[in-house]
Structure 1
Amino acid sequence: MEVKVQSDDLEYVVSTVRSYINSYETDVNPLYIRFYFFESDNPLLDENFDEIRKILVPSGYIPAVIKGPENYIEVTRRPKENYRSIYVNIIMLVLTLLSTVYVGSIYAASFVRPGPYYEFYKLLYGFVFFSLPLMFILGIHETAHYLVARRYRVNASLPFFIPFPYIIGTFGAFVSLRDPIPDRKAMTEIGAAGPIAGFLASIPLMFLAQYFEKVIKPVNNVIPFQLNYPLIYKLFGIFEPVKVPVFPMVFAVWVGIFATAMNLIPAGQLDGGHIVRGLLGSRAYILNYIFLGFLFYLAIVYNYLGWLFLALFVIFLGLVHPPALNDYARIKMRDVFIGIFCLLMFIITFTPLPIKP
């Protein structure tokens, strides 16, 4: 629903924009205000527009740069939104902790000797060796999104964790951006922050998991599934045994690394989708469709339904990524290097068939 922009604050909006932008015409409409400008009259357009954005967005307005036959800044009134209470975050966090502890205790059963405290130690192992490392990686990932968003003055929610008491104990977590993304630079860096932070958090835990795996030996040889390990394990000289039960912490870190790879797929609203949309602008839709087809290809060739579900999830959230408020702002070389680093991360964390039954 579009909201009328005319109000007692009309003069406030006009004076704010005109104090930063040299415009030659103003068009006042019940749904928007447009300020037409020449680029030659506004050499600091990107910087000045960001100042406008910082003032108007918290005041209930959304400015956007539009370029074409005529260039203009369009300001619309922001629809009122109701956000969930922080108690929802806390409840979902607690439920996800319980969910991951429960799932972790199932995998811990192969490493706990039968005895009077068998169930207690299963839960303890599930908490220490599965829930904690997995929740730490996911938490670091989402906290990085949150902090970088706030650095760009983009309001964001605290992380929402999603419980799922089966296989990995969770469907992950997400941070809800409550403000529009200001420009392509912010879009790239907000999108990349989570995978980079989660990836860096996983590396020391990989070695710690290997240490505990050598110390705590399995008490049976029940092997419900086998993992395919991505290239990063070989790069660090880690070769996990495949004919023994997977130690819970090894599996938890593997899940964290696999989540990094999935998030970096450049499609739709995934983190990789944010990154390529920021780097390539409107041309990113080409990669969106290519990688969507890639997911369907993997689902068919490897008979792995996980890729099919991810492809449908991408379609459900929206395959074409919405633009930033200033979709024409130039990105910096630092962001290009961030994109290259994310591509390398994807290569060394991705595996086409994650789990072998």
Structure 2
Amino acid sequence: MSKHDFTAAEFAARLVHVRAAMAARDLDWLVAVHPTSIHWLTGSDAKSYQEFQCLLVGARDEPLVVLTRQGEVHEFETDSAAGEVHGFGGGENEDPIAAFAGVARRHGVLGRRVGLEVPAYYLHPHHYLGLRAVIGDALVTEATELIAGLKLVKSPAEIGYIRRAAVLADLAMARFAGALAAGQSELALAGGIHDTLLRNGSGIAASPINLASGPRSAYSHGAPTARLLREGDFGNLEFGATFNRYTATIGRNFVLGKPTPRMSELHDIVLRASGAMIGAIRDGVPATVPHRAARAVIGEAGLEPYRVHTSGYALGPGFPPSWAEPLHMIGDSPHVLKAGMVVTIEPPVFIGAEGLGARIIDNVLVTPTGAEVLAQTPRDLIVG
């Protein structure tokens, strides 16, 4: 993604929404750290999330100010909507927090009411402590979900990008189904998926592919290995396709030859649980409701202990290691589904003692009256 992927008007509208949310919290400045926050406001696709970075957002008409490692300064200057870009480090080490202090003083951030994003993965504890020391008593709130919450409902342009990613995911799943055969390695099958995605215009997904077969099918996020598939294997697959960083995910179960009754049973359970979730989704529904619908199906089958993670989550543009947004469909979720959100449907059953696991993953667009499934790939068990 770059500043050219959306109109200037869309970027301006996003900033208006952020400033309104800041005003509601009585904030003068927001220090955004999460790469998707920086991406949403500036269009930057830079790899700067590997080191310290931040975006200073003023509550009034201040320019968007980026602080990033020196190697990404030119990219921000030419390919983002940032108004001002500062670099640190480069050929020699430099303390990024000292650089932040200088930029913050220059823009009058210190001494004002400041909110700070504290995102998982992207802010080192030492840098967090350094920011707290520099900002001091002016740090009045951790505003990690301020921008993230505004991003949950997608614009028509964003939904268009997700639809294009879903088409790419279908293409790659068809490649997998056509190549599935005994004697193929998990890695070779994964390579075919990546080949199809990249040749057809997908970017690199934020999270690695999951592909596990045989006894490894009980691994809920098993990476592909050199293991050769053999007749009778059951397995599960999940991957993401992207378009301008907007992600579509898909997951299916597969079998080499005729499935056993237990394999068919597990696949049927997660299929019915997924259907129950989709049937419960519409505008205004609490995120707990689809989760409870899936949980009821799995619980009635006596498999509640093997429902090992969330039933689904909101999906957006992603930077490694995750494409998930903060909304999760789980028992204590505070979120409400709204038209324009895109969420994953993936209630799981993974039984270590049996060496079996099943999960079907689809993305749905929340609509005023229900849910639109974005993938066209059948949800049946793939037989090789």
User: Per the shorter chain, which TM-score range?
Assistant: under 0.3
TM-score (norm 2): 0.26
Of Structure 1 and Structure 2, the greater helix share is in 1
Of Structure 1 and Structure 2, the greater strand share is in 2
Q: Which structure has the greater CA radius of gyration?
A: 1
